[in-house]
Amino acid sequence: MTALIPHLLDVRPEVVDALRVRRPVVALESTLIAHGLPWPLNLETARAAETEVRRQGAIPATIAVLGGTPTVGVSNDELELLAHGEGVRKAGRRDIAPAITARATAATTVSGTLGLAYLAGIRVLATGGIGGVHPHSGPEWEPADISSDILELSRVPVGVVCAGAKSILDLRATLEALETHSVPVVGYGTDNFPAFYLRGSGWQVSARVESAEEAALLFNAHWQLGGAGVVLARPVDDEVALDPDDFDAALSKAKTQAARGAIRGPALTPYLLARVAEHTSGRSLQANHALVIANAGLAARVATAYVAQGG
């Protein structure tokens, strides 16, 4: 069955041509378009990220499931469909096969994008922030809410460029889970693990690099040793980063609202992010927009360095 999966992929000609002649390609996840940001900022962000990848000399390949077909390199019109269409599913790794058989359209999370990118031959992915371990506030018997991003990072040899993990998470537990699964967490110019809207979490990364070239060398060394995913965490730019106290106050209000509404599972992260946006008067959305574009640019530089190094 596994051997059939690549034949189900629709890898668009520009991406195929780029990979054939060894031009750098950057995969981009699509959940931020359909579920992470409001209209029209979601479409503006997606297009700006692709533009930044091209500006840095690489080819963007936004990934989604369109009408049951995993698609690598969606078109501009398809970006708008994901951004403004109704009934777009949210697909992690477990959800892709059901979306295929239902002929559904689905935006892929980091975990959903990783495997499709690798099957297409892409080794660098850009996103806003990875998922992780949610704070556990329920009864002891209730299982922890842990993103499938962590498990997929432990299995798929793709480097993920991000602004760390989303600030709403238990970041200490997230880093412990990544360590348990042998996923290197590499700070880009920092020893302090970035926290999405916040420049730092107070927790240490496992390694640090100072350039895209150094990051590409680390990726390649990890993969030659049989490793899988790598997290390259770049802090959000200082001019758009949120004040930690303002963020904590907004998140506290958002969590209270989520508890009252019994929001949990896959719906929890987008719900909390939307409420934080309300409570910060949209400043979190500005930070999200900026960090996605910056991460895409860094991913393009890393992909370019990886190809130049013979990867």
* Residue 29 is among the residues annotated as catalytic for this protein: yes
Residue pair 273/166 in contact (Cβ under 8 Å)? The answer is: yes
φ, ψ for residue 92, nearest 5 deg: -85, -170
- Out of 90, 152, 166, 255, the active site residue is 166
- Out of 29, 52, 80, 152, the active site residue is 29
Q: Please choose, from the candidates 157, 156, 149, 309, the residue with its C-alpha nearest in 3D space to the C-alpha of residue 222.
A: 157
Q: Which two tokens stand for residue 152?
A: 């997929």
**Three-state DSSP state, 256:** helix
Cα separation values, 228 from 47, 159, 168, 207, Å:
29, 8, 26, 16
What region, left, alpha or beta, does residue 3 occupy, with left being phi > 0 and alpha being psi -120 to 50 degrees? alpha
Q: Tell me the H-state helices in the chain.
A: 5-8, 13-20, 31, 41-55, 76-84, 96-101, 110-120, 148-153, 171-180, 212-224, 244-260, 268-279, 283-308
Q: How far apart are CA 84 and CA 34, in angstroms?
A: 7
Q: How far apart are CA 78 and CA 234, in angstroms?
A: 29
Dihedral angle computed from the Cα positions of residues 248, 254, 259 and 265, in that order, rounded to the nearest 10 degrees: -100
Which residues participate in catalysis according to the annotation? 29, 166
